[in-house]
Structure 1
Amino acid sequence: MKNVLSVFCAVSIGLVSHVTLAADQTHWGYSGDTGPNHWGTLAPDFTTCAKGVNQSPINLTGMVKGELPKLNIQYQAGGTEVLNNGHTIEVVYGKGSRINIENEQFDLKQLHFHSPSENTIEGESFPMEVHFVNADKAGHLAVVGVMFKEGAYNPELEKIWNSMPKKVGQEVALSAAVNINKLLPKQDKYYRFNGSLTTPPCTEGVQWFVMKEPITASKAQIKQFSQLFPHGNNRPVQSVNARMIIQ
């Protein structure tokens, strides 16, 4: 099973940013003629969005049981600034936070949000999802996904929301360090699969780890984010094809 789990492609370190240079130069969005159904035709670099066979997000179903390694998360309180890039709200991180998977270290580069969730679990969509984007020294990416359900007010999330810029292209310094361990569920069980970036250029070879247990945010907190993206900022689920989803 370990050999199966280790079969992932390499990705350039330039893909650590949620939006790459190519994506910055080509207008794309989540609705209309520049929406997800058209991404593959907007630029030559985006063809994987249409032709890729290991695309993300997906509906997690038909899981296969396996001996998954412990997801050793070593995130520190921090974050430098909050960015509104027109597609999401992103928190940029400096050095010091990482995850270790099978003795490989991936450093946290940034985290960002989608509403509604991009991945679904057994067909269930969640009102919001956060992605923690990590990269090793060679540029291989590992993304940890956590679902939000509507419920108790989330004080740690509020630290980000308090600095959340409303204007596209605006960056705001975080007024308080964010303990992102509090944006992770108490249970460390997860699903693992091979996928891609969920935004153009949709490059494949990304290791995905979606936590089984959701965390909560209040109705007002979810609304505060979703109002910035009234058409939603989630890519629809893609075909699983021949991939295994391991739990």
Structure 2
Amino acid sequence: MSLNRVSLTVLAVAAGLFAGRALADDQAPHWSYEGHGGPAEWGQLSPNFEACGIGKDQSPVDIRSALPARLPPIKISYRAQPLALLNNGHTIQVNQAPGNFITFEGERYDLIQYHFHTPSEHTINGKAAPLEVHLVHKGAESGKLTVLGVTLVPGKANPLIGAVWAAAPAEAGPVKEVPGVRLDPAALLPAKRAYYRYEGSLTTPPCSEVVHWVVFKQSITASQAQIDAFAKLFPNNARPPQPINRRFILESQPTK
């Protein structure tokens, strides 16, 4: 695929993510996480989903045998945003107005949405966490995506998650704006920012291989009741780990 076609593909994927769909096409075939239309069949459901079946840089992955590397810190610039959320039939997603961004490997990436998976899609040495949040950013220059992955484990309740769950629609539907509620996505980030880094894909169709993945090593907490509440809506919305193939997983090192 040419560079121009890659750029157009990335922009289309990002537009679809911001609108709350894996594809911008309203006629995209139905897919699911179990049974007919499940992950093993995604690549056969549409020519647009071909990467799900034949891609070599797919996500998520099982993180093990990471290579120590001098990776730069991620500069995070978040502030509270009005709450606009969506049940898209596959997850609860919170859309973001312009203004929040990260600086990653010399480029600005704007936060466009964050959403949740249970159990976690990324595993560490074969072990999944009960929940994972993905914060999806689009490159201001390249148009590529950088996704921050954070795993959640049982513990102290997370106030942001409590506010999202309280307003989240139980059924799939249009974006719901919640007047008077502003949430800072920094509440979804761990205190320690060491991370794993690899090149991968979207974890939902069309599985486009356009994602810089950053998975923080430290988990954050949510109460067991908060974890159970999401699992009640989505008992399993996690794609199984994919083969690492020829890729490397890098692990940031403490700064001296």
TM-score band by shorter chain is over 0.9
1:203 corresponds to 2:208: yes
- Greater Cα offset, 109-118 or 168-177: 168-177
Task: Give the secondary-structure state (helix, strand or coil) at the position aligned to 1:199.
Answer: coil
Match of 2:188 among 183, 186, 206: 183
**Structure 1: which amino acid aligns with 2:13?**
L
C-alpha deviations, 1:111-147, integer Å up to 9, x for none? Answer: 0000010001111100000000000133200000000
**Structure 1: which amino acid aligns with 2:86?**
L
Match of 2:243 in 1: 239
Q: 1:1-247 counterparts in 2 under 5 A?
A: 12-16=10-14, 17=17, 19-22=22-25, 25-137=28-140, 138-175=142-179, 176-230=181-235, 232-247=236-251
Number of equivalenced pairs: 238
* Superposition deviation, residue 20 in structure 1: 1.2
* Superposition deviation, residue 162 in structure 1: 1.4
Give the TM-score taking structure 1 as reference length: 0.93
Task: Give the secondary-structure state (helix, strand or coil) at the position aligned to 1:221.
Answer: helix
User: For residues 25 and 205 of structure 1, what CA distance do their matches in structure 2 show?
Assistant: 19
* Superposition deviation, residue 174 in structure 1: 3.0
User: For residues 79 and 199 of structure 1, what CA distance do their matches in structure 2 show?
Assistant: 26
User: For residues 80 and 139 of structure 1, what CA distance do their matches in structure 2 show?
Assistant: 25
Contact kept, 8 Å, 1:115 with 1:127, in 2: the verdict is yes
User: For residues 105 and 240 of structure 1, what CA distance do their matches in structure 2 show?
Assistant: 27
Gaps of at least 5 residues in structure 2 are 1-5, 252-256
User: For residues 72 and 237 of structure 2, what CA distance do their matches in structure 1 show?
Assistant: 31
Q: Provide the alpha-carbon RMSD of the alignment.
A: 1.4
User: For residues 197 and 79 of structure 1, what CA distance do their matches in structure 2 show?
Assistant: 26
Task: Give the secondary-structure state (helix, strand or coil) at the position aligned to 2:76.
Answer: strand
Contact kept, 8 Å, 2:120 with 2:131, in 1: the verdict is yes
Match of 1:5 in 2: none
Match of 1:3 in 2: none
C-alpha deviations, 1:182-215, integer Å up to 9, x for none? Answer: 1100001000000000000000021000000000
Match of 2:254 in 1: none
Gaps of at least 5 residues in structure 1 are 1-8
Q: 1:157 to 1:50 in 2, by over 3 A?
A: same
Give the TM-score taking structure 2 as reference length: 0.89
* Superposition deviation, residue 79 in structure 1: 4.1
User: For residues 243 and 108 of structure 1, what CA distance do their matches in structure 2 show?
Assistant: 26
Contact kept, 8 Å, 1:163 with 1:173, in 2: the verdict is no
